[in-house]
Structure 1
Amino acid sequence: MDFRQLRYALSVSKERSFTRAAKRLNISQSAVSEQVRLLEEEIGFDLFTRTPRGIEATDRGRTFLYESERVVGDLLSLSDTARRLRGAKLDTLTIAMGSGMAQLFIPRLFQDLHKKLPDVQLNIQTTPTRAIFTELHEERIDAGLAIESDPERLPSGLVFDRLADAEMALIVPVKHALARSKQPVDIGRLIAEPFIMSELSVGYGPVVMSLFTDLGMKPNIRAVVDNIETIKIIVQSGGGLAVVPRPCVANEVALGQLKAMAIAPARNVAFSFYRRRQPMSRRKESALQTVLEMLKQS
């Protein structure tokens, strides 16, 4: 039994497929199958069984794989220890977030970072929600901040913690006629307005679509954009209107660049912290937990 065999078996369990596990590990399917077979021969029982829904762990396999995750985490902790003994000073956490979240979460994250995580270097990436889920699943990032999505749309093996709820608001150019309204804007009034939409399958895009479809209407979509910064620029330039999480436009509203208005019916979304269920080294787990606690501060 070796580390490689455990990694391969855990990947098969996570993907529920030998083919997808091989792709994720960047090796051949035959190599994955062979190493899992050798592991099963050594432990004396099958780890997986085939079902109409794909590969599933057996009862004994689930117990074994649960303990395997702990062992893999311990081995990764040994790797961290070796790095420190070699003189490496910093651990690295790679965190991705949607483009509109920086103004809400970056101040929380960096306010006391040097005190709470003095030996950690953060790599911050800005990327669309869809890409966050993919890169987490493929282990290219350690955590991601994204709009909470339908669990059915998430890759297997991801878990999340809710950070905050946010009101959805209509954003319009400051000289738009709707900017003078003192009451929440009825979504039904916006059917003829050109709309700038976020990704339609994940994040808050489906929430915005549901505002219209719940009323039996279809929005007049001018453009679909994968980041909120571009959406804000299009709206500022008079290219259309958009419904976005209010905290993501707080700076532009304060500077008088955009007007944010309540909508009827009201709708909220949740910002969440996503990570893989499979544990990392103890040092990284501790650092990731500290990051989560900092992000939850209001």
Structure 2
Amino acid sequence: MDLQQMRYAVAVAEERSFTRAAERCHVVQSALSHQIKGLERELGVVLFARTSRRVEVTAAGEAFLAAARVSLDAAERAVSDAAAAAGEIRGTLTIGVIPTVTAIDIPAALGAFHRKHPAVRIRLRGGGSDEFIAAIADGSMDVAVLGLPDTMTPKNVNTRVLARERLAAVVSADHALAARRRLRLEDLVDEAFVDFPEGTPGRAPSDLAFRAAGLHREVAFEAMSTDLMLSLVKNNLVIALLSPAVIPDSDELRTIPVTSGPTRVEYLAWSGFNVSPVAQAFLEGLAATE
């Protein structure tokens, strides 16, 4: 068994297809299939249940892949550590970014990092703060930007506060509240909202604010994309509570401050245990630009 066989197995599991896995690994499908069959013979188990149209990971495959990913991460870390000791930063930088980043210009930061460390591969992942915290803690992610209620402190990761802000109401220009200069939470209880999915950190600031005020609101639409949220608002279907920084200047929208409205904290997060040279270089680069 070698690392290349592990890479092939991980690719098949993630792509759910031998054809797509072969394309991803830049190898002909017959060679990849041969390597997977050889690996299964060596292990004495079937890793994938497959037909001509379908591929699924078996229970034995799930157990193998968990350890294989750890082994591949360790091998990559060994290469990057050796390169760093010789003065070169290389390896993979995996970054998680929430949909509402306002405190960092992520494309500019990644561009500057790439120009300084061209040998580093950059992986950018979207998602929620809770999954990013778990990924950093288990070593599958290096750095993330989080957005959390001001009452929630991230655990099991190192963090630095990037910004604190109060969310604002955004309504259609045709909405009955569009002419208001300021709103209270009480003014919004009869409105239909669009927000992030229930239970996610992105939704928590608004849920907590209404709960603390003893008020109920209706979330009629859930979405992870702020662009989709704003499109629904423009069509006067709902209103939203968002960071003012993500609300564009538009004749179709009105942004209104909310007294005692939800507050959120944006964090930069990274591992508190054995930070990789790649992650350390990225963090130092960000600090140097502030």
TM-score under structure 2 length normalisation:
0.63
One-letter amino acid of the counterpart of residue 195, structure 1:
F
Superposition pairs for residues 159-238 of structure 1, below 5 Å? 159-182=158-181, 184-238=182-236
1:4 match:
none
1:289 match:
283
In the alignment, the residues of structure 2 paired with residue 188 and residue 180 of structure 1 have an alpha-carbon distance, to the nearest angstrom, of 17
Is 1:144 matched with 2:138?
Answer: no
Bigger drift between 230-239 and 212-221 goes to 230-239
In the alignment, the residues of structure 2 paired with residue 106 and residue 275 of structure 1 have an alpha-carbon distance, to the nearest angstrom, of 16
- 1:96 offset after TM fit, Å? 1.0
In the alignment, the residues of structure 1 paired with residue 143 and residue 81 of structure 2 have an alpha-carbon distance, to the nearest angstrom, of 22
5+ unaligned residues in a row in structure 2: which ranges?
Answer: 1-62, 68-73
In the alignment, the residues of structure 2 paired with residue 159 and residue 84 of structure 1 have an alpha-carbon distance, to the nearest angstrom, of 22
Q: 1:233 and 1:291, CA in 2 relative to 1: closer, same or farther beyond 3 A?
A: farther
In the alignment, the residues of structure 2 paired with residue 210 and residue 134 of structure 1 have an alpha-carbon distance, to the nearest angstrom, of 22
> Which digits, 9 at most, give the CA deviation of each residue in 1:53-104, with x for residues without a partner?
xxxxxxxxxxxxxxxxxxxx9x98753255689xx98432110111222795
One-letter amino acid of the counterpart of residue 211, structure 1:
A
1:265 match:
260
Superposition pairs for residues 123-138 of structure 1, below 5 Å? 123-138=123-138
Tell me which protein shows more helix as a share of its residues.
Answer: 1
1:94 match:
94
In the alignment, the residues of structure 2 paired with residue 93 and residue 258 of structure 1 have an alpha-carbon distance, to the nearest angstrom, of 37
2:66 match:
26
1:5 match:
none
Q: Percent identity?
A: 15
2:8 match:
none
- 1:187 offset after TM fit, Å? 1.2
CA contact (8 A) 1:157 1:278 kept: no
Q: 1:175 and 1:198, CA in 2 relative to 1: closer, same or farther beyond 3 A?
A: same
RMSD: 3.6
In the alignment, the residues of structure 2 paired with residue 103 and residue 161 of structure 1 have an alpha-carbon distance, to the nearest angstrom, of 12
- Partner of 2:193: helix, strand, or coil? strand
- Partner of 1:161: helix, strand, or coil? strand
CA contact (8 A) 1:195 1:220 kept: yes
Moved segments of 4+, more than 6 Å: 150-153
In the alignment, the residues of structure 2 paired with residue 147 and residue 293 of structure 1 have an alpha-carbon distance, to the nearest angstrom, of 19
Superposition pairs for residues 21-60 of structure 1, below 5 Å? 26=66
CA contact (8 A) 1:116 1:290 kept: no
CA contact (8 A) 1:165 1:268 kept: yes
In the alignment, the residues of structure 1 paired with residue 216 and residue 151 of structure 2 have an alpha-carbon distance, to the nearest angstrom, of 25
One-letter amino acid of the counterpart of residue 94, structure 2:
T
CA contact (8 A) 1:98 1:227 kept: no
One-letter amino acid of the counterpart of residue 98, structure 1:
I
Q: 1:178 and 1:145, CA in 2 relative to 1: closer, same or farther beyond 3 A?
A: same
Is 1:278 matched with 2:273?
Answer: yes
- 1:171 offset after TM fit, Å? 0.9
One-letter amino acid of the counterpart of residue 161, structure 1:
R
CA contact (8 A) 2:196 2:202 kept: yes
- Partner of 1:26: helix, strand, or coil? helix
5+ unaligned residues in a row in structure 1: which ranges?
Answer: 1-22, 28-72
1:45 match:
none
In the alignment, the residues of structure 1 paired with residue 201 and residue 209 of structure 2 have an alpha-carbon distance, to the nearest angstrom, of 14
CA contact (8 A) 2:195 2:203 kept: yes
- 1:224 offset after TM fit, Å? 2.8
- 1:144 offset after TM fit, Å? 1.1
One-letter amino acid of the counterpart of residue 189, structure 1:
D
- 1:159 offset after TM fit, Å? 2.3
Number of equivalent positions: 221
- 1:258 offset after TM fit, Å? 2.6
Is 1:244 matched with 2:242?
Answer: yes
In the alignment, the residues of structure 2 paired with residue 278 and residue 237 of structure 1 have an alpha-carbon distance, to the nearest angstrom, of 47
One-letter amino acid of the counterpart of residue 143, structure 1:
V
One-letter amino acid of the counterpart of residue 192, structure 1:
D
- 1:271 offset after TM fit, Å? 0.7
Bigger drift between 189-198 and 227-236 goes to 227-236
